[in-house]
Amino acid sequence: MKIIILDGYTLKPGDLSWKGFHDLGQCAVYERTNPAQTYERAKDADVLITNKVVLDANLMEQLPKLKYVGVLATGYNVVDVEAAKKRGISVTNIPAYSTDSVAQIVFAFILNFSQQVMLHSQEVKKGMWENWQDFSFTLTPQTELAGKTLGIVGFGKIGQKIAHIANAFNMDVLFYNPSKREGWDNRARQVGLEELFVGSDYVSINCPLTNDNLGFVNTKLLQLMKPTAYLINTGRGPLVNEQDLADFLNQGKIAGAGLDVLSTEPPKPNNPLLKAKNCYITPHIAWATFEARQRAMEIATNNLKSFIDCKPQNLVG
């Protein structure tokens, strides 16, 4: 069995091993594959492993040996699943491997907003504290999370983990989810989307991207937020209308934004959020802790092994 890993670098930038895949067949690993290289590298493959390399219907028509596609992520929009199904190609993904890591970065943003630790540390190193007349100084308001309201849009595994952490901080939690979520009592209250945006001090976007919610965080919802509130997006970039968000930040209509995802990654130089006020952007790293990547590697390897053993798991489509 010939296994081709098309873009392995982000999962394994040097600290993990592909041994599990090598044990399952003849395996070739490419750190990156651009569109012009995809067919040549994939043409003899029985198995293709991809993270962000697009496998569309046209390409799959040219790959008669292909039997299996493993996506090294939870989202699988890079694969034309319907075309794969028609050709008898199994497609798997890696669900729930980064839940703790994504929830953690949401609170990295929240804690940054509440106390600005890095800003104060930088100013101390520049000599501000040693030259200050008092024993303490603050450059930004210092706020407690206890008693603040966190609104979570999307209440799957990640959203629920975020709620548990918020409870530990004694925050009030509102959440929006299309289907009913039971069992949270007073620890989190399910509300409508507009009520969530009106009532939250922090809004965390954690829903999947669909055709129906593309750009749904726009002027209509942003104008409902308090001027002291913050927006955090660790879901998918296209969930947010980036120009609308940049306008609200630059006009001081909301207090700030923390974004781990953008509509195009890497972003174009003219992305309005790159220069927006009080906008903190990280390069899609919420998933990338060592522990989460290690879990992803194990699940991806087990997905393929299960397929070979005729006991497929984590099939999509």
Domains of the chain: which residue ranges?
Answer: 2-97+290-308, 99-281
Among the listed residues 56, 75, 70, the one whose alpha carbon sits nearest the alpha carbon of residue 261: 75
The residue whose two tokens read 């980064």 is: 98
Instruction: Give the separation between CA 73 and CA 296, rounded to whole angstroms.
Output: 8
pLDDT digits (tens, 9 = 90+) for 265-306: 999 999 999 999 999 999 999 999 999 999 999 999 999 999
Does the domain formed by 99-281 have CATH 3.40.50.2000? no
pLDDT digits (tens, 9 = 90+) for 88-147: 999 999 999 999 999 999 999 999 999 999 999 999 999 999 999 999 999 999 999 999
* Whether pLDDT at 184 is above 90: no
Are the C-beta atoms of residues 160 and 104 closer than 8 Å to each other? Answer: no
pLDDT band at 311 (very low <50, low <70, confident <90, very high): very high
The size of the chain, in residues, is 317
User: What pLDDT score does 45 carry?
Assistant: 98
Rounded alpha-carbon distances, angstroms, from residue 209 to 200, 212, 267: 22, 8, 18
pLDDT band at 161 (very low <50, low <70, confident <90, very high): very high
* Whether pLDDT at 148 is above 90: yes
User: What pLDDT score does 263 carry?
Assistant: 97
* Whether pLDDT at 317 is above 90: no
User: What pLDDT score does 238 carry?
Assistant: 96
Rounded alpha-carbon distances, angstroms, from residue 69 to 12, 13, 38, 90: 18, 21, 14, 6
Tokens, residue 142: 């210092």
pTM of this prediction?
0.92
Tell me if residue 236 is catalytic: yes
pLDDT digits (tens, 9 = 90+) for 197-255: 999 999 999 999 988 999 999 999 999 999 999 999 999 999 999 999 999 999 999 99
Tell me if residue 181 is catalytic: no
Catalytic residue (one of 236, 242, 293, 295): 236
Edge-to-edge order in the sheet of strand 47-50: 26-29, 2-5, 47-50, 68-71, 90-92
Catalytic residue (one of 41, 87, 120, 284): 284
Domains 2-97+290-308 and 99-281 share a fold: yes
* Whether pLDDT at 182 is above 90: no
- CATH fold label, 2-97+290-308: Rossmann fold (3.40.50)
* Residue 130 burial by Cβ neighbours in a 10 Å radius (0-12, 13-18, 19+): exposed
Tell me if residue 41 is catalytic: no
Residue 111 host element (H or E): helix 99-115
Catalytic residue (one of 31, 61, 82, 265): 265
Is beta strand 189-190 parallel, antiparallel or unpaired with respect to 202-205? Answer: unpaired
Higher-confidence residue of 182 and 58: namely 58
User: What pLDDT score does 185 carry?
Assistant: 78
| Upper half-sphere CA count for residue 55 (Cβ side, 13 Å) | 33
Q: What single letter denotes the amino acid at residue 26?
A: Q
Instruction: Give the separation between CA 131 and CA 114, rounded to whole angstroms.
Output: 25
pLDDT digits (tens, 9 = 90+) for 15-36: 999 999 999 999 999 999 999 9
* Whether pLDDT at 186 is above 90: no
